[in-house]
């Protein structure tokens, strides 16, 4: 690329940039004067010690940087923050999880735009880090490749049975109800998370890393190749060569991420029963990319895409698959290749960072385990594992991981049991105040009301670990972890804090859930709603200063991706 015009020329070319070049020399990344003639590549890393999915990324980034230099670029590494959803689960720390996505997006935009980088490699892995980087990359819109740190192995308890983080969370509920001993809970604790990497099931982190493949912004097997597999190092090296190829061909982020590629990502998501959080993040990504992608489009995709893989936290009969099983079966390419056999399930002519179209990329891909990844002619269900519910309780939509719901729960009706917070609902569950047949409503936990739209894995796992777990439904304007299973409906919009219907229902109101018809409704007339709305007052903001106070003032509801208003 010597002599070609580059974005980075802004900070390195011409006599007036002598001070800039002096500072660049001081970084140590400029090893020869000829380096000023090469493209500058941002290495956006998310290494942080507190997140097990990220503890290895410091060394992983060195492999990427060396490969970028070998391919003819000059690498400059920078870091983002990160929040571990599992560690902050069930306490005030969870209020910072979703807001951290916005900070990460701002960091990516700030560093990459301010320093005029020519291209970028993003190294995310867990929770909000993947979507935050995607959102930032959409704003900067330069040639970009994502290469994640990879999933962890599934654990094994002392008897050799597979376990994971959700086993530990549900173990807390089992222990609270006296169903398991202290020793069993300790066994789960010690073995649920055996290695570095993103937690081993189809939770939010792995869902998003798999979706990056389907978006075309990451290489094949990015989502399933284990963090501890040496082959991931080769994936990193390939990512370095591909990003420079994209730069030579002038292919930017927006050339790859389009409404059609988002359709493909959601097709994968519903085919493998991904996290409900992906809906929130895809809406945010589309908004940052300036793409029209309404929440109703998710149901259109799910209607034409069958459910092919049930990965933890879902159960496939009496067994549970994890990411290592999906990888051995052929990974995301094998799922996509099955979907490609059905007309109109995928857009096959979209470009990817491999340099091939998606259709070309899937040629010759085989499904190595038709029990783990069902063939297209033998799906778990004809429609995908996620769906959007509408109705007078969720006029702007709500989300459920229908692939992790047992068949007998596809319809449910019961009286509302309303709680103003996750803590109040958790206390009621532990105190025996929740009865079989109840519809547990946890409100004022949305993006604005929480603030931060906390995940409720502690509550859902507690209920699942108790005998009545299969006999109650749970609704919230907050979020659920990708590890949630059962009749749990989140992202209800409008949220309670903005006067949404979920904030107006009362104990005893009868709520109806009909998953087949995508319906979430309460037995209230418009006149009753109007009467209650007249007496409703917006709650006082929980934070009056600091980041969460600013977030509360600026954030949109879940149906708009919970992004910040410009």
Active site residues: 481
454: left (phi over 0), alpha (psi -120 to 50) or beta: beta
Work out the number of other CB atoms within 10 angstroms of the CB of residue 92.
12
229 in a known ligand binding site: no
Distance CA 478, CA 98 (A): 11
Rounded-to-5 percentages of helix, strand, coil across the chain: 40, 15, 45
162 in a known ligand binding site: no
> Which pairing describes strands 155-156 and 162-163: parallel, antiparallel, or unpaired?
antiparallel
Widest pairwise Cα distance in the chain? 76
Distance CA 360, CA 376 (A): 19
C-alpha closest to that of 166 among 334, 401, 370: 401
Per-residue burial over 140-152, b = 16 or more CB atoms within 10 Å of its CB, e = otherwise: bbbbbbbbbbbbb
Residue 75 backbone phi and psi in degrees, to 5: -85, 140
Distance CA 480, CA 380 (A): 23
Distance CA 256, CA 501 (A): 38
Q: Which residue has the tokens 């000829």?
A: 34
Distance CA 366, CA 329 (A): 8
List the structure tokens of 105.
Answer: 């997006």
Asked if 201 and 264 touch (Cβ cutoff 8 Å), the reply is no
> Which pairing describes strands 40-45 and 387-391: parallel, antiparallel, or unpaired?
unpaired
Q: Which residue has the tokens 């038709």?
A: 370
85 in a known ligand binding site: yes
Sequence-ordered list of residues with C-beta below 8 angstroms from that of 193, at least 6 positions apart, any chain? 52, 152, 155, 164, 165, 168, 199
501: left (phi over 0), alpha (psi -120 to 50) or beta: alpha
Distance CA 182, CA 282 (A): 41
Q: How would DSSP label each residue in 211-262?
A: HHHHHTSB-TTTTTS-TT-THHHHHHHHHHHHHHHHHHTT--HHHH--HHHH
Torsion sign over Cα 504, 507, 508, 510 = positive
128 in a known ligand binding site: yes
Distance CA 265, CA 243 (A): 21
3-state secondary structure of 398: strand
Angle between helices 97-114 and 277-288 (to 10 degrees): 30
Distance CA 383, CA 273 (A): 11
Binding residues: 85, 127-128, 455
User: Residues marked as binding for Mg(2+)?
Assistant: 85, 127-128, 455
């Amino acid at each position: 690329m010597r002599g070609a015009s580059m974005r980075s020329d802004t900070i390195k070319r011409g006599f007036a940039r002598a001070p800039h070049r002096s500072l660049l020399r001081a970084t140590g990344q400029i090893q020869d004067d000829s380096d000023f003639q090469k493209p500058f590549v941002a290495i956006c890393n998310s290494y942080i010690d507190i997140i097990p999915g990220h503890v290895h990324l410091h060394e992983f980034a060195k492999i990427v940087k060396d490969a970028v230099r070998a391919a003819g670029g000059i690498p400059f590494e920078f870091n983002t923050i990160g929040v571990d959803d599992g560690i902050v689960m069930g306490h005030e720390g969870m209020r910072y999880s979703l807001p951290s996505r916005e900070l990460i997006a701002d960091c990516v935009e700030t560093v990459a735009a301010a320093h005029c980088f020519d291209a970028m490699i993003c190294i995310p892995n867990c929770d909000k880090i993947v979507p935050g980087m995607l959102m930032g990359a959409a704003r900067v819109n330069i040639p970009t490749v994502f290469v994640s740190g990879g999933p962890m192995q599934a654990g094994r308890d002392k008897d050799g049975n597979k376990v994971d983080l959700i086993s530990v969370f549900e173990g807390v509920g089992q222990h609270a109800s006296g169903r398991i001993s202290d020793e069993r809970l300790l066994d789960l604790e010690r073995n649920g998370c055996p290695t570095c990497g993103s937690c081993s099931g189809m939770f939010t982190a792995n869902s998003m890393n798999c979706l990056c493949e389907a978006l075309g912004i990451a290489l094949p097997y990015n989502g399933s190749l284990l963090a501890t597999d040496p082959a991931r190092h080769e994936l990193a090296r390939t990512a370095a060569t591909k990003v420079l190829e994209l730069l030579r061909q002038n292919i930017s982020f927006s050339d790859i991420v389009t409404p059609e590629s988002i359709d493909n990502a959601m097709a994968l998501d519903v085919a493998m029963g991904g996290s409900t959080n992906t809906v929130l993040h895809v809406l945010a990504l589309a908004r940052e990319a300036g793409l029209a992608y309404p929440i109703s489009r998710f149901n259109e995709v799910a209607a034409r895409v069958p459910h092919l893989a049930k990965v933890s936290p879902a159960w496939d009969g009496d067994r549970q698959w994890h990411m290592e099983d999906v990888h051995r079966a052929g990974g995301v390419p094998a799922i996509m290749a099955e979907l490609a056999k059905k007309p109109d399930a995928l857009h096959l002519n979209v470009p990817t960072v491999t340099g091939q179209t998606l259709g070309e990329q899937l040629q010759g891909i085989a499904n190595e385990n038709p029990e783990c990844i069902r063939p297209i002619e033998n799906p778990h269900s004809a429609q995908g594992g996620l769906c959007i519910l509408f109705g007078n309780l969720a006029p702007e939509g709500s989300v459920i991981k229908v692939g992790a719901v047992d068949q007998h729960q596809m319809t449910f009706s019961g009286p509302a049991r309303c709680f103003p917070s996750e803590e109040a609902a958790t206390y009621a569950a532990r105190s025996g105040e929740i009865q079989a047949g109840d519809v547990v409503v946890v409100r004022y936990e949305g993006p604005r009301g929480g603030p931060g739209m906390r995940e409720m894995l502690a509550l859902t796992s507690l209920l699942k670990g108790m005998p009545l777990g299969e006999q109650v439904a749970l609704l919230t304007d907050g979020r659920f972890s990708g590890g949630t299973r059962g009749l749990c409906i989140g992202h209800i919009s409008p949220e309670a804090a903005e006067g949404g219907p979920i904030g107006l229902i009362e104990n005893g109101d009868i709520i109806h859930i009909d998953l087949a018809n995508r319906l979430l409704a309460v037995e209230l007339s418009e006149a009753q709603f109007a009467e209650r709305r007249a007496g409703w007052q917006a709650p006082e903001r929980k934070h009056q200063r600091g980041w969460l106070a600013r977030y509360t003032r600026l954030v949109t509801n879940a149906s708009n991706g919970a992004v910040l208003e410009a």
